[in-house]
Structure formats: structure tokens, C-alpha cells
Chains A and B, each alone.
Chain A
Amino acid sequence: MKVLASFVLLLALVPAGAEELPRFPLTAKDGRFVPEMIEVPAAKKFRLVVTNEGPGPEEFESHELNREKVIPAGKTVEIIIGPLKPGTYSFFGEFHPKTANGRIVAK
């Protein structure tokens, strides 16, 4: 009950109109990310639009970006990132940590 209550409360906090942020696509497929390098502008918030073409779920994770998000198979999720300082930030797929690796380069 408490979980439900706080969930509803937090839902109410979501602003009605989502901000217009630059969007960068990323695809998870067969345990890999495509592309493995994404260039983004530094000092600007952006949305990473991650599509999982499967098979199976994937979890986008980046220690450097402080982000983790599950992407169920066949779904697309958005991850808000930044503003970043210029530099390279690596990410990986937690469910395929050996093969699913990539990096975001902020310039």
C-alpha cells in the first residue's frame, strides 16, 4: 500500500509537458550496443533513446553517468543524461557485460 501511495505521489510530480531535449538513438541487439560510440554536445542535457531489439531484456548501465535502466525486449526507453563535462563516459549492458559495451563522448 505504501509503495502504491508513494508511487502515485511521485507520479503527480512528473511535469505534464516533457522538455524538448536533443535525442540520440542507441540500439541493443544480440547482446551488443549499436553504435558503440555516441558523440554528444558537452554542457547540454539530452535524451538517450534506447531500443532493445532482443532477444531478451537488457539493462543499460553506466557507473560514470550514474544511470541504470532496464529495457525489456522489443521496447524503447529514454534516459535523460547530462549536462556533461567534456570527456568520455563508458556504458555497458548489465545482462551482457562482456559484449555490450559502448561510450558516450561529450565534446
Chain B
Amino acid sequence: MFATAVIVFREVLEAAIVVGLVLAASQGLRRRGLWIGSGIAVGLGGSVVVAAFAGGIAAAAQGMGQELFNASVLFAAVGMLAWHNIWMARHGAALAKNINAVGRDVVAGLRPQYLLASVVGLAVLREGSEVVLFLYGIAIAQQDQASALWAGALLGFAVGAGSGYLLYLGLLRFAARYLFSVTGWLIALLAAGMAAQAAGFLVQADLLPPLRDPLWDTSGLLSQQSVLGNLLSVLVGYLDRPAGIQVFFYGITLTTILVLSHIYRPMRKRPTRTVSKFAGVANSE
């Protein structure tokens, strides 16, 4: 039962962290529940479809369809997260100021809400399809301990979803003017981690050179399979045995998001030295 719980937990955690982070990042956004809820629903529906066509996807592109599919989903999510951060760099300060005011709807109305809904949908799709396949395996195995396995799956799902909710609650403890700065950083790191993962799939498909594999091995120090290592891998893209190209993709993605957010931040009347260069929101003084 616990083995099952752990498997489901690992898959659910990744999607739950994305949902929790997106919920926090979309504070002050009108009808965000509806947007994010739709993202989750479409992602769940999509994972059943992807699981059903797993054979066809695997056979595509000379047997490398699965790698290409995973890389595509990840890169699409990276693009949307980057776009969101750049948008927030420009409008985040106004949004934070008006987070509890009537005026927020005006600002929020400008926001490309569908971006965040799509990111949630993609995260649920990718992790969900593996959960669906795994549960399907349990269902057809018809073992006598099937009910214990289902209980384990439910437990894993609950703990995974609960972790996402805890992240959301934790982020909400930040004051409004810091909230978007924190979520901006977390989203930039999440996107960089996803880009590294996508690069890993392209190496697996033999489309990218690994450039030293692994570049380092810290599995003895902090294994990615440990609770902390797993959490860090989901949150900030920690890899204990990354290929060189994964580290390269991580760096390029993070730098691109930070630089573009800096370039597109709102103009100020007076130049200040203490302006935060961070993705997300600038000072709101």
C-alpha cells in the first residue's frame, strides 16, 4: 500500500506544486478559480487521452515519440511561465498595490489569464498520464490486495495535493508587495528546472549531445529520491546527476527570464539604485 502511495505521491507532487504556485501567483486575479479549475480539468481529461494513446505516442518518431512529447509539453510550459513573469515584471507592482482594492479588476483584466490556466493544464497532463497508466496497471492486475493498493493511491494523491496546498498557504503569508517577487523567483526557477528536464528527454531521444553525463554526481550528498531532494527537484529543478546540457538549458532559461523581466520592467521617473532586478515585481514604493 505504501509503495503505491509513494509512486502516486511523486507524480502528484509535481503537478500540485505547480498548481499551488500558480494559485499564489494569481492572487488578485478575477475568476482565477474558474481559470485554474478549467486548467486542472482539461489536464485530467488530457492525461486519460495521453495514457490511452501511449502506445501510439511511443511508436512515433522512430520510437522516440514519448521523449519528444514530454519535451514539447515541458518547453510549452517553460514558454508560458517565462511570458507570465515578463508580464508581471511590467504590471506586477500595480497589481500588488491594488490587490485588495476595487481597482485590481482593471489591472487584472489586462492579464493573460489563460497562460496560467494552460501551465496548470500541461503540468497535470504530464504527471497525470503516468498516474493513469499506473492505476490502469493496478486495475487490470486484479490482485487480492487491490483495495489496499487503491487506498495507497488515494493516500499518495491526498498527501501530494496537500503539499501543493501547503505551498500555497505558505506563500500567502508573504505581504502583498513581496508576494509577486517571491512567486516570480519561484516561477523562474521552476521554468529553468522544466527546461533542464526537457533537455534530458532530448538527450534520451539522441537529439541533443549530453555534454558530459553526468556533469556532477551529488546523489551521495543529497539524493533526488530523498524527500528533500525530491521536493527541491520539483521546486527549483535540483538534479543529482545532471548532464552538462541540462545545466546549460537551466542557466539559459533562468538568465533569459531574468534579463527580459528586467528589460520590460516599468519605467521610473527617477532612477534608483535599489530597484530589484528580480523576475516578478519591482519595488512598489
Contact = CB atoms under 8 A, between A and B. Distances in A.
B130 A70 contact: yes
18 contacts: A3-B76, A6-B71, A7-B72, A10-B61, A13-B207, A14-B64, A14-B205, A55-B137, A57-B54, A57-B136, A63-B225, A66-B200, A66-B204, A66-B241, A74-B55, A75-B55, A75-B58, A98-B3
Contacts of A64: 241
A37 interface: no
A57 B204 contact: no
Interface of A: 2-4, 6-7, 10-11, 13-14, 18-19, 55-59, 63-64, 66-75, 77-80, 94-95, 97-98
Interface residues of B, number: 46
Contact of B224 (A19, A63, A71): A63
Contact of A6 (B75, B140, B205, B241): B75
Given A59-B133, A66-B214, 19 more contacts: A6-B71, A6-B76, A11-B61, A14-B61, A55-B141, A57-B54, A57-B133, A57-B136, A63-B224, A64-B241, A66-B203, A66-B213, A66-B241, A68-B204, A69-B204, A72-B54, A75-B58, A77-B58, A77-B63
A68 B67 CA distance: 9
A70 B133 contact: yes
B191 interface: no
B234 to A, nearest CB: 15
A80 B63 CA distance: 10
A78 B63 contact: yes
